[in-house]
Amino acid sequence: MGHEPQGSEHLQETGARVTEAWCEDLLSGEDLDPRALLRAESFEAPSGGGVVMLRDVEVATLCPHHLMPALGLAQLAYVPGGRVTGLGTLTRVLDAYARRLTLQEHIGQGFVDAVMEALEARGAAIALRLKHGCLSARGRRSEAWVETLTTAGVLAPGAEMHPVLAGWMR
């Protein structure tokens, strides 16, 4: 970059640390198949199930345009159909989509599509609220949040939604 930072003797292993962080954590979703994970970690749904909601799940992803992190929270919901899965599996599926070089919109669509297909869900939704490093660290937009909502099935717009879920998704 054209300059030698002060204390550069402490930076000798930075390249290796960055590589390890990217490969072992930040991009760990690249090698995962979220649908296969859902199929392997699911079981037949009990009759009469309601909406499953999981709130305030921490999310970390990397912007593919600037290679900067986007951090925030996800709200997850699905209406069981043929199969159900554990809450921890839902968070691992979210991470499988988020821990990639990807757009926020792709995380939501991937999650909803995987839940609908692999769990034979009647509906699925994800609301993401992320603060993007490429916005907050560059310029004067430190308070800007990006919010997306992706829905399918009985949770899609126009579908008759459970009143609790309708308020939760606002």
- Tell me which of 137 and 132 has the higher pLDDT: 132
With DSSP H G I counted as helix, E B as strand and the rest as coil, what are the percentages for the chain, rounded to 5? 40, 30, 35
Residue 132 lies in a domain: yes
Report strand pairing: 83-85 vs 146-153.
unpaired
Residue 152 lies in a domain: yes
**CA 16 – CA 129 distance, rounded (Å):** 31
Q: Which residues contact residue 145 at a Cβ distance below 8 angstroms, ignoring those fewer than 6 apart?
A: 72, 129, 130, 131
Residue 19 lies in a domain: no
pLDDT at 163: 56
pLDDT at 160: 64
Tell me the pLDDT tens digit for each residue of 58-89: 999 998 888 889 999 999 999 999 899 999 99
DSSP letters for 95-113: HHHHSSB--HHHHHHHHHH
Residue 139 lies in a domain: yes
Q: What is the CATH number of the domain that holds 135?
A: 3.30.1130.10
Residue 15 lies in a domain: no
User: Helix, strand or coil for residue 123?
Assistant: strand
pLDDT at 22: 78
Tell me the pLDDT tens digit for each residue of 12-58: 788 888 888 877 888 888 889 999 999 999 999 887 778 999 999 99
- Angle, helices 87-98 vs 104-118, to 10°: value is 140
Rg (CA), the chain: 19
User: Helix, strand or coil for residue 24?
Assistant: helix
pLDDT at 15: 82
What does DSSP assign to residue 154? T
Question: Secondary structure of 28-86 in the HEC alphabet?
Answer: HHHHCCHHHHHHHCEEECCCCCCCEEEEEEEEEEECCCCCCEEEEEEEEEEECCCEEEC
pLDDT at 159: 67
- Tell me which of 119 and 170 has the higher pLDDT: 119
Q: What is the pTM of this model?
A: 0.86
Residue 117 structural domain = 32-169
Residue 59 lies in a domain: yes
Q: How many distinct structural domains can be found in the chain? A: 1
Residue 18 lies in a domain: no
Residue 57 lies in a domain: yes
Q: Say if CB 106 and CB 96 are below 8 A apart.
A: no
